[in-house]
Structure 1
C-alpha cells in the first residue's frame, strides 16, 4: 500500500472524531430558599438539534424561530431526563420561565427555568440525571446548588447513581471532588486535539535533534528525561491559564482558542517531519500549553462559580487532566523507547502518523479560524 493510501486511511479514521474536542455538557443550577426550588438548565442547541432535529429547513443554521416553535418538546425532554426529590418527597412544578437562549464559551444554549414548591423546608435534594443517556455516552451535567449561603458542585453522569445534596453543608463530598477528577480525565479522553498534540510530541521524545533530522537517543533514561521536561512544561503552562480562565480573569474568544490549539497540533506534527523549531521543544510546549489551558477551562467557566468556590473543582479537574496525560505517557512511551532504533518506526510509523496528524490539524485550523465545514461532524 502506498504512503498516500496509508495517509488517507489514517485521516479517515481520525475524521469521525474531528469535532470531538468540545464535550457535550449541560449546566444545571438550583437555588433553594425554604420551601422553594428554582431550577435552571442550560442545554447546548447542537445537542438538542441532534436529538430533536430542530433545524427544520436543513440549512445548518438554527434560528430562534425554529427553536421557539419546539420549546414544549425541549421542556418535555428535560423534564423526563432530570428527576428531583426533596427529602424523598416530590415537589411539583408551579411555574416555568419564558423561553430564553444564552451564549456560553462554546456556543448557544437553550435556557429552561422552572420553580418547584415543596410542602416543607428543603433539607436535602436527590437528583437522577438521564439527559442524552441513550444517544451520547460522553455527555455530562455540570451541576451547582446554592442554598443557605453555601454552594455545592457535582458532575452528573447520565444513568449513574443519583446525586445527593445536603443543604447547609459547607463541606464538599468526596464524591463531588471525584466527579471533577473524572471530568478532567474525561475531557482529555475525548479531546482528540489534546491527545494528538501530546502523542505527536511523545513519539519523537525518544529522539534528539541531529542537524535537520532526528537521531535515536542513546539511553531510555535520556528519553524519559525529555518526556518529563515536555510533560512538566505542558502541565505548568496549562495549569496557569486553566486557573485564570476558570476564575474569569481571562476569557479569550473560544473560536481563537480552538484555532490556536489546532495550529499547535499542526506545528508539532510538521516539526516531527522536518525539525524547524530552533528553541528547545519544552519552550514550544510551554507556549502552546498556555493555549490548551484555555481549552480545558470551558466546563469550569460556564459553571459560574465565584473565585472562593473554585478551589476544589479546579483542583479536581486539573488532577484529572494530569492523570489522563500520565495514562497517555504510560501507553506510548515504553513502545516508543523500544522501537526508537527500528527502521520501521523511523521511516514509516513516525512520518506516516505525523503526516496524517498534520493534514487533519490543517483542516481543523481552517475550519475553526474561517468557519468552514470540511469534515463531517
Structure 2
C-alpha cells in the first residue's frame, strides 16, 4: 500500500482515534517544512571591500534565500524564490540597499550608488555599491553593514575581505551584529593598522556557532534525521546509524572545503531531497533497522556536500583547518542536541498503541511528501 493510499485509508476511517489529527499533522508539517527549505542555505554571506578613487566599493554575495528576504521586490512572481532573470537592478532595490549599507569618512556621510545587482551562481546573488568621492579628513572610510545583516536574520554572519594597498593578500574577518563595519583606506592614504590577529580560539568559537546554526536551520537535514529515527530500535542500532551518517558527511564536507572535489549544487540539492523521501518510504517497508547504518552512510556523503556547498568559500582562510574542524564539530553538536530532543519524545509516543499503528506511518508520509516537494522545487523551480 502506497503512502497516499494509507492517508486515504485513514481519512475513510476518520472515526477512529487520532485519524483526522494525524492527517492534519502530516499535511501541516509537510507544508511548513517544504517552504522553509527551498534550498539548503546558511545565513552566511561574503563581502569584498576595496578602495576606489577617493572612495570605496563594497561587493556582497548572499544566498538567494537571504536576498529575497532582504529585497522582496525582486520576487516578481511571488513564489518565494529568485530566478536569474529576477536578480536585476531597479530604483527600489538601490534605495533599499543604500539604506542598509552606509559609509562615512570621519563624521561625514559618503554618497553611494549601486553599480551592480546580478546572479552570482546557482545559489547566490551579488550586488556592488560604490561610495565617493568622500569628503572628510579621515584616511579611511567606514562601511557599516550591520543593518544589512539584521534585515536578513538575527544569525547572519559575513566573511569579509578588505583590500589594502601594498598588502599582497586581503585582510579577512568574520562580521556579525548590528554594529558590524569595516575600515577601507582612501585612495593612496596610509592603511589603517590591521585588527588584532584572531587566535585559534576566536575562529573556533565563530565557526562552531556557524555549524550549530547550520544544522538547526537546515530543515531538510532535520527531517532526514527524524525519518532515520522514527522507527526506534535498539540504542546501539540508532548509534550505528547516526555514526555512519556523521563519519561520511564529515569526509565529504572536508574534501569539498579543501578543494579536493567540487560537485555541482544543482546535482547535490535534489539528491538531498531524494534522500529525505527515500528514508520516509523505507519506513513503510524496512524490516531490519539494524542494517540501516549502511544507507545512512551513503546518504551522509551527499549531505556532507550540502553542508560544504552552503558554506562555500566563506570560512576564514587564515586558520582554515581550525575553521573546518570546529564548523564540523558544531554541526555534530547541533545534531546531537536535536536527537536528544527528538528520540525521547518518540520513545514516549511509541508506548501508545495509536502512535505505533498510525502515527509512525503518517509522520513517515509527511517525510516523503516534504522530500518530493523539495526535489520538484530544486529541479523544476529553483
TM bucket, shorter chain: 0.7 to 0.9
Deviation at 1:181, TM superposition (A): 2.3
Which range moved further: 261-270 or 316-325?
A: 316-325
Deviation at 1:292, TM superposition (A): 0.6
- Classify the secondary structure of the residue corresponding to 2:197: coil
Q: Match for 1:227 among 238, 259, 262?
A: 238
Verify the 8 A CA contact 1:56 1:66 in the aligned structure 2: no
Deviation at 1:227, TM superposition (A): 2.6
Q: Which residue pairs with 1:258 in the alignment?
A: 269
- 2:337 equivalent to 1:327: yes
Q: Match for 2:205 among 178, 182, 194?
A: 178
Could you tell me how far apart the structure 1 residues matched to 2:302 and 2:354 are?
A: 34
Pair 1:312–1:145, CA change in 2 (3 A): farther
Deviation at 1:337, TM superposition (A): 3.7
Deviation at 1:244, TM superposition (A): 2.0
1:28-66 per-position Cα deviation (integer Å, ceiling 9, x unaligned)? 222479x97542112456655553423557798756598
Q: Which residue pairs with 1:193 in the alignment?
A: 220
Q: Which residue pairs with 1:73 in the alignment?
A: 92
Q: Match for 1:238 among 249, 254, 260?
A: 249
Verify the 8 A CA contact 2:270 2:374 in the aligned structure 1: yes
Verify the 8 A CA contact 1:84 1:90 in the aligned structure 2: no
Which range moved further: 345-354 or 98-107?
A: 98-107
Alignment root-mean-square deviation, CA: 3.8
Q: Which residue pairs with 2:370 in the alignment?
A: 360
- Classify the secondary structure of the residue corresponding to 2:245: helix
Pair 1:278–1:299, CA change in 2 (3 A): closer
Deviation at 1:178, TM superposition (A): 2.8
- Classify the secondary structure of the residue corresponding to 1:131: helix
Could you tell me how far apart the structure 2 residues matched to 1:309 and 1:173 are?
A: 7
Deviation at 1:8, TM superposition (A): 4.8
* Structure 1 unaligned spans of 5+: 208-216, 218-222
Deviation at 1:275, TM superposition (A): 0.6
Q: Match for 1:152 among 168, 172, 178?
A: 172
Q: Match for 1:343 among 312, 335, 353?
A: 353
Deviation at 1:10, TM superposition (A): 1.9
Pair 1:125–1:55, CA change in 2 (3 A): closer
Deviation at 1:262, TM superposition (A): 1.0
Q: Which residue pairs with 1:131 in the alignment?
A: 148
- Classify the secondary structure of the residue corresponding to 2:34: coil
- Classify the secondary structure of the residue corresponding to 2:281: helix
Q: How does 1:209-228 map onto structure 2 within 5 Å?
A: 217=234, 223=235, 225-228=236-239
Verify the 8 A CA contact 2:273 2:374 in the aligned structure 1: yes
Q: Which residue pairs with 2:7 in the alignment?
A: none
Verify the 8 A CA contact 1:248 1:301 in the aligned structure 2: no
* Structure 2 unaligned spans of 5+: 1-13, 184-192
1:194-214 per-position Cα deviation (integer Å, ceiling 9, x unaligned)? 00111111222x32xxxxxxx
Aligned residues: 346
Deviation at 1:191, TM superposition (A): 1.5
1:60-111 per-position Cα deviation (integer Å, ceiling 9, x unaligned)? 875659823x0x433332232234568xx3576477674252423514x132
Pair 1:66–1:344, CA change in 2 (3 A): closer
Q: How does 1:312-323 map onto structure 2 within 5 Å?
A: 312-323=322-333
- Classify the secondary structure of the residue corresponding to 1:183: helix
Q: Match for 1:269 among 272, 280, 290?
A: 280
Verify the 8 A CA contact 2:22 2:359 in the aligned structure 1: no
Could you tell me how far apart the structure 1 residues matched to 2:145 and 2:197 are?
A: 22
Q: Which residue pairs with 1:99 in the alignment?
A: 116
Calculate the TM-score normalised by the size of structure 2. Answer: 0.74
Q: Which residue pairs with 1:39 in the alignment?
A: 58
Could you tell me how far apart the structure 2 residues matched to 1:273 and 1:91 are?
A: 66
Calculate the TM-score normalised by the size of structure 1. Answer: 0.75
Q: Match for 2:230 among 184, 188, 203?
A: 203
1:113-146 per-position Cα deviation (integer Å, ceiling 9, x unaligned)? 4356684555x96845122635x43662422234
- Classify the secondary structure of the residue corresponding to 2:357: helix
Pair 1:261–1:184, CA change in 2 (3 A): same
- Classify the secondary structure of the residue corresponding to 1:133: helix
Pair 1:94–1:355, CA change in 2 (3 A): closer
Could you tell me how far apart the structure 2 residues matched to 1:63 and 1:338 are?
A: 47
